[in-house]
Amino acid sequence: MLRKKQGLPQEDEFVLCKVTNIHYHSVFAKLEEYDNKTGMIHISEVSPGRIRNIRDYVKEGKVVICKVLKIDKQKGHIDLSLRRVNEAQKRIKLNLIKQEQLAESIVKQVAKKHKKDVLKLYDELAKKLITEEYEGLYEVLEEVSLDDRDLTKDGIDKKIAKDIDELAKQRIKPPEVEIKGEFTIQTYESNGIDVIKKALEKGEKEHEDIVINYKGAGRYGFSVKAMDYKEAEGIMDDVKSAVLKYLESHKAEGSFAKVE
């Protein structure tokens, strides 16, 4: 990683570590994101249950995700835990690291093109762009990729900003969530099929990407993709309202449920 964090991590923070030394009752690991910081994992924090041989669980050179348990700021001691990190937390942390590595690779490409030192360019960008609001450079570049940020307004050179903008839009995909819903429809009117068809068409007109499909036994399903759950749920509510309102006005029975 190009940028090392200064100081000490926070308690309860999840950190990327590399195992450096293994002793009978403890493991020492280097905190990869922090400059020259090492933490200790007591044998009781390696894995739940009784451990006969600590080397069955960790090996020198292995990269792991740990949770920071306790920090002695005066002595600089950092107590870590392996067993208190679940799979979901591990995935989230690894994904954040991958995102930051992608941001670093974009900086490397721009630095190479402009014949600049990579570390110097990264530090220049970090000083101007990374504030307490951001975990790292990736979040800033994500805003750039969505046209939500003009780097020249942050004091970045126009040519550098232009190349970062182009690469960010090429390599960073907008965040996306997907939620699913399902209608159950019944009608005993002679023109029931037409009523259902027109009701579903009303729903599809609420958003250009909505397609409602027949699933059998009077059930019709669709999915909504958006940048966040609030937007996705707003679209889903519009579709639901349009369909159910039309059914109600044409004496058809309809209900709606989100599909988990």
Domain boundaries, the chain: 14-83, 88-171, 177-259
Tokens 């100081």, located at residue? 7
Question: What are residue 7's phi and psi, to 5 degrees?
Answer: 75, -150
Q: List, run by run, the mean pLDDT of 10-residue segments along the chain (260 residues).
A: 82 96 96 94 95 95 97 93 94 91 96 95 92 86 91 96 96 86 91 94 92 93 89 94 95 92
User: In a 10 Å sphere around its CB, with 0-12 CB exposed, 13-18 middle and 19+ buried, how is residue 230 labelled?
Assistant: exposed
Rounded to whole angstroms, how far apart are CA atoms 220 and 256?
A: 9
pLDDT of 243: 96
Helix axis angle, 118-129 relative to 87-113, nearest 10°?
120
pLDDT of 173: 84
pLDDT of 1: 64
Q: What is the pTM of this model?
A: 0.67
Q: Tell me which of 3.40.50.2300, 3.30.70.1130, 3.40.50.2000, 3.40.50.170 is the CATH number of domain 177-259.
A: 3.30.70.1130
Q: Tell me which of 2.60.40, 3.10.28, 1.10.3470, 1.10.150 is the CATH number of domain 88-171.
A: 1.10.150
Question: 98 CB contacts (<8 Å, ≥6 apart)?
Answer: none
Chain segment 105-162, per-residue pLDDT in tens:
999 999 999 999 999 999 999 999 988 788 789 999 999 998 889 999 999 999 999 9
14-83: which CATH topology?
A: OB fold (Dihydrolipoamide Acetyltransferase, E2P) (2.40.50)
